[in-house]
Chain A
Amino acid sequence: MKALSALCLLLVSLAAQAETPQQIRQAYSAEAAGQQAGFTASAKRGEAFFRQRFNQNDKMPACTSCHTDQPVNAGQHAITGKAIRPLAVAANAERFSDPAKVEKWFGRNCKEVVGRACTPGEKADFVAYMSEVR
């Protein structure tokens, strides 16, 4: 019985760790507001960022190079050809539910495609767009 209760508690705490895109967006927004008073995430700015051509990388000039122009669609890695599941939450409920994973991929992809780390504001906008696009 004790083991069962412990297991239940563990399952509850594990479930609590899965965050929503809304929570992740709020965390980045709060971080951005610390640098820029009155910051509010904007899906429109997020979309512009998603479509912007940074041209830092020949094979991956923009986010769209791998994720296509429509984030509800499946993408394809520009170099390896590996299939990439959609970025939009509407098409892939797993997206933006694990803060560590989100931070890792912003870290890698911003460095590679944008040519620098993304700002908290850019990340908040990006999450807003991916949460709302249909």
Chain B
Amino acid sequence: MKRLCLITLVAVALPAFADRLPLPADTPASFKTECGSCHLAYPPALLGAADWRRVMATLDKHFASDATVDTVQKQEISAFLEKHAGKSGTAPNVAGEPPRISKTARFVRKHDEIPARFWRDPRIKSAANCEACHTHAAAGRFSEHDIAIPELRE
């Protein structure tokens, strides 16, 4: 029984270690069109449920943009985000105000070796722009082995 638990735990933890965060199969089209047109349709596991609730409650002031969606889509997207939100341990509870994926412990830990000037590089522009470095981010692959910016590949 103990062994089974261990195997299950390893299986659950593996995708995180492999930096694979594909969008869940039940991702609604509204999430991809509403959230994915200005930035990557971020994997919901990157924030906790409480963080997503805060994001969805302040869409009219979404990082200085009005990203309001209609009521039906808001419900659909909220339900989806909360269902697949990160559990404590994979996504921290404290993500700043408003919640920023780039302020989560996981993000900070994974990017702590990136010199500040790269975040201002015109090819990158913003920490929101995952695809600038992670070529396969849209497919949920964030491996550090296929970074698009040559200087960051070492």
Contacts and interface: CB of A to CB of B under 8 A. Distances in A.
Contacts of A81: 124-126, 128-129, 132
B38 A82 contact: yes
A59 B132 CA distance: 19
Contacts of B126: 79-81
Q: How large is the interface on B (under 10, 10 to 19, 20 to 34, 35 or more residues)?
A: 10 to 19
Contacts of B63: 79
Contacts of B37: 82
B129 A82 contact: yes
Interface string B95-136: 000000000000000000000000000001110110110000
B66 A112 contact: yes
B14 interface: no
B65 interface: yes
B66 A77 contact: no
Contact of A77 (B39, B64, B67, B124): B39
Contact of A108 (B40, B66, B128): B66
Question: A79, A80, A112 — which one has the most chain B CB atoms within 10 A of its CB?
Answer: A80
A134 interface: no
Q: How large is the interface on A (under 10, 10 to 19, 20 to 34, 35 or more residues)?
A: 10 to 19
A83 B66 CA distance: 19
A80 B39 contact: yes
A112 B66 CA distance: 8
Interface in A53-106: 59, 76-77, 79-83
Contacts of B65: 79, 108, 112
Contacts of A112: 65-66
Contacts of A82: 37-40, 128-129, 131
Contacts of A80: 38-39, 125-126, 128-129
Interface in B17-35: none
A79 B125 CA distance: 7
A82 B42 CA distance: 12
Contacts of B132: 81
A26 B137 CA distance: 40
Interface of B: 37-40, 63-67, 124-126, 128-129, 131-132
Interface of A: 59, 76-77, 79-83, 108, 111-112
Given A81-B125, A112-B65, 8 more contacts: A77-B38, A79-B65, A80-B128, A81-B128, A82-B37, A82-B40, A82-B128, A111-B66
Query: Which 4 residue pairs are nearest across A and B when measured between Cβ atoms?
Result: A81-B129, A81-B125, A80-B128, A80-B39
